Chains A and B, each alone.
Chain A
């Protein structure tokens, strides 16, 4: 079927994609075996599934190649068979569908996380996807569908690779939204389509992760943010585990009942993911096949995006600003940090700028004598870990630019291209390829023209050229260059004049670096603020400035009120209320430090906790800090651990962080005062030498304020009982790893009960179960966090008893 047809068809009618392959093959593939190997060993089974979908009326058939990339296949020892498996898949599917349906080559995730969240480099991910896409295209698919992507960076790598391999055939890309309406690594539907539209896919959408009902909202959000055709492939409801196999609960007719709503929400292609069958597809076909897609008229807006959010340029939105501080020019501290690759300094600078109101961060890492490409990659990767804002990649070095664009998960801004042929032909292809917006500087072949009219001409040349490269007007920003009022006073007015002309005449957004205007003059902040307000009045959309300057930020917010970019002065009022008057109030400092201590425990920041705790010296009683800040933070950590959102190292880091604070605060407490809640005697029982679990529990308990007496491992019952009688702890905790040492546990419990039946026991360990614990008369804790809650309960109980005693 001709490709041209697809572009035509998708405008004319709603297309139906096929349903699940994986769950259809569940019975044919043994657990732990590679489903794509069926293309080589049992092609007839795969063909049968394709035939059933063609028969059901699917317009698009996907090849059985979801996991047929080198990394996935390698897990099954067939990493070298990429091209053979993909080619076989295409042949089988073509035999089944002939020219009746479009044949789409299916590409799924690698199963590994791309940097900065994981270890897989963008370049490797690109190569892996390119290899698969090339094999599919060579074998003759009509389209490529990338699906079930959980991470924006992996999605970007797959799309760029597929597009480069596709030789002009359409590329469709879908994200899986599993965490509410976010992907596994935090990307929302609007950001997904923003990035995908920038990358030039032919349709975008969502699949897997959700049933049809929840998909409606996702498609609506995408429809409002993009002009792209949309595709949706929901699961057949929610997964359930039945007899060890995953099943889905939505029957064909019930699922199909949502199809019309999905079309109304804006979907152009509807198919099915996990759990859907040819019957589901047939039911969907009968409801929506042949319908005309709804006509969407989303507002065409400039958009930039980071991993988890998109910023738009609407006419009356508050002015967005680019923070200019990550630039080593004239900053020895940053130069030093960059030279030694100490990126935490850069990350801190990034975080501060965002706290002070930057919406976008400019990243300039030009330090002489250092490989700028490598440095750009490193900085862009680490800044994204610190802040969630779009980046402006600021460099003259094309390789550094490419590294920056590649490694930024989002839609970046390029700073910048000049109005010269050589610059345009180098930079614009990169903008197109990585889906970035671009700033054009009005510098022509003869440098910066003086007159506004001449700058307009350069700007027009840039805009026309960018449009010819397929970069849409809304992604073009023009910077008509701020010159110093000290050196070239008359040219300041020319800049403002040019700005107004360009905005009016070319319909693009404008950018200006504000701070340059005061170069060489005293009281620079005053001049900068004055210039900023004049530029905003002339129509400036996106100032580049120093967000640490309170004066500048105040003027910006004030101007927004005066030029109707802040409806009802809402933000102005909000922000002026929130900004503390200098010098900072004592309470603010305290409040900040409290938050910092709390956050430090939550994030396990063991290196900085003391600095934060010390800020509260003399302001808050040590006892209060422990009970009102640290313990509540530890409780949140415990909760996160129970939910699986933290894993062991994060739990332990939080414990270490709290311990540092405790040790320091204990030294501050009056002699004799104790923050202990009570004591716990702990031991690994006689004959057992596996004490890691006991050590972990002991560490966590002591961080929760209990005095832990750790008797070690291989401890006999007599020693444990003796110590327990001496200490009268609120609980005795025993651990054992092996079944052979569980009788020792029982023996110890018995002996202690005989000696003093009021001391409770708590047991745990790999083979210990709740039933066993109950049987021997002990409390059970499955892990360190449960051990804390059991101990706390017992402690409360003891206190109540004591309270009664004294009455």
Chain B
């Protein structure tokens, strides 16, 4: 039984559907306050199309059994130790974790750089926001795959948690990348633990017999209350 869960891994390509409202949120649009502008909305629609054409969302993940220590969580057969209290709390009832990585590819980065170089600042900034939304949606899609695999085996999954949030040190990035199979899909990490290409995400998801997932907006859990992008 344990063997079945341990080693649930996969990699592949996925397609994403961009939510225009999320793109607007990233760009600072405040409904009711910001001036409605059909021309800008058209521009956003076109840029979304352009971005969707160049991105190549890919993912990889692998699953590990975890052990609980008093202040931390250790993944079996690896040297991964998670000591961030927010993550330890999240994984309180979990028996396994899936470590995932997802990216929309370096092609988008090239596109954004080119747009700025050509003086197309507007399209450039919109494309960047679309990229942020695309990688989130890609991560959601992988989340769904993991959820399905877990359900087949009688598990619920916890919320997805990424380094850099809730005080989880970015240093863990390298380890997560290695364990999820990031190099298989062309994601690397630089000397400051940042993912390359930029629009990439690593995360852990817990497998638990208890509880159920929460449908609230992801921003609800973030402690950065002054954030201009905060949604509800």
**Which positions in A face B, CB cutoff 8 Å?**
31-33, 76-77, 113, 116-119, 150, 178-179, 184-185, 385, 604, 640, 643-650, 652-653, 655-656, 659, 686-690, 692, 695-696, 699, 714, 737-741, 744
- Bound together, the chains give a CA A527 to CA B14 distance in angstroms of 70
Asked if A649 and B126 sit within 8 Å, CB to CB, the answer is yes
Asked if A77 and B215 sit within 8 Å, CB to CB, the answer is yes
- Among candidates A118, A699, A741, residue contacting B192 with C-beta atoms closer than 8 Å: A741
- Among candidates A178, A385, A646, A692, residue contacting B35 with C-beta atoms closer than 8 Å: A646
* Known pairs A77-B215, A649-B27, A689-B196; A738 contacts B125 (CB<8 A): no
The chain B residue with its CB closest to the CB of A113 is B36
Asked if B194 and A656 sit within 8 Å, CB to CB, the answer is no
Q: How far is the CB of A608 from chain B (nearest CB, A)?
A: 12
Q: Any chain A CB within 8 A of the CB of B7?
A: no
- Among candidates A648, A653, A686, A744, residue contacting B28 with C-beta atoms closer than 8 Å: A648
Q: How far is the CB of A28 from chain B (nearest CB, A)?
A: 16
Q: Any chain A CB within 8 A of the CB of B3?
A: no
Asked if B220 and A31 sit within 8 Å, CB to CB, the answer is yes
- Bound together, the chains give a CA A738 to CA B169 distance in angstroms of 11
Asked if A738 and B192 sit within 8 Å, CB to CB, the answer is yes
Q: Any chain A CB within 8 A of the CB of B12?
A: no
Q: How far is the CB of B110 from chain A (nearest CB, A)?
A: 13
Which A residues lie within 8 Å of B192 (CB)? 686-688, 738, 740-741, 744
The chain B residue with its CB closest to the CB of A186 is B36
Which A residues lie within 8 Å of B29 (CB)? 647
Q: Residues of B within 8 Å of A, CB-based: how many?
A: 46
Q: Mark B17-45, 1 if CB is under 8 A from A, else 0.
A: 00010001001111111111111110110
Extra A-B contacts (10), CB below 8 Å, given A647-B24, A692-B124, A699-B121:
A185-B36, A648-B27, A648-B28, A649-B43, A649-B44, A656-B119, A690-B198, A738-B170, A738-B192, A739-B164
Asked if A690 and B121 sit within 8 Å, CB to CB, the answer is no
Q: How far is the CB of A30 from chain B (nearest CB, A)?
A: 8
**Which positions in B face A, CB cutoff 8 Å?**
20, 24, 27-41, 43-44, 112, 116, 119-122, 124-126, 128-129, 164, 170-171, 190-194, 196, 198, 214-217, 220, 232
- Counting chain B CB atoms within 10 Å of each CB, the highest count among A179, A643, A659, A695 belongs to A695
The chain B residue with its CB closest to the CB of A710 is B116
Would you list 14 pairs from A and B whose C-beta atoms are within 8 A, ordered by A residue? Answer: A32-B214, A116-B38, A649-B27, A649-B44, A649-B122, A649-B126, A650-B34, A650-B37, A687-B194, A688-B192, A689-B198, A695-B116, A695-B125, A696-B121
* Known pairs A652-B122, A695-B124; A740 contacts B194 (CB<8 A): yes
Q: Give the 3 A-B CB pairs with smallest separation, nearest first.
A: A687-B192, A32-B216, A652-B122
Which B residues lie within 8 Å of A117 (CB)? 36, 38
* Known pairs A688-B194, A690-B198, A740-B194; A649 contacts B124 (CB<8 A): no
Asked if A647 and B36 sit within 8 Å, CB to CB, the answer is no
Asked if A119 and B36 sit within 8 Å, CB to CB, the answer is no
Asked if A647 and B28 sit within 8 Å, CB to CB, the answer is yes
- Bound together, the chains give a CA A76 to CA B214 distance in angstroms of 11
Which B residues lie within 8 Å of A689 (CB)? 190, 194, 196, 198
Asked if B194 and A738 sit within 8 Å, CB to CB, the answer is yes
- Bound together, the chains give a CA A385 to CA B41 distance in angstroms of 13
The chain B residue with its CB closest to the CB of A663 is B119
* Known pairs A649-B126, A652-B125; A687 contacts B190 (CB<8 A): yes
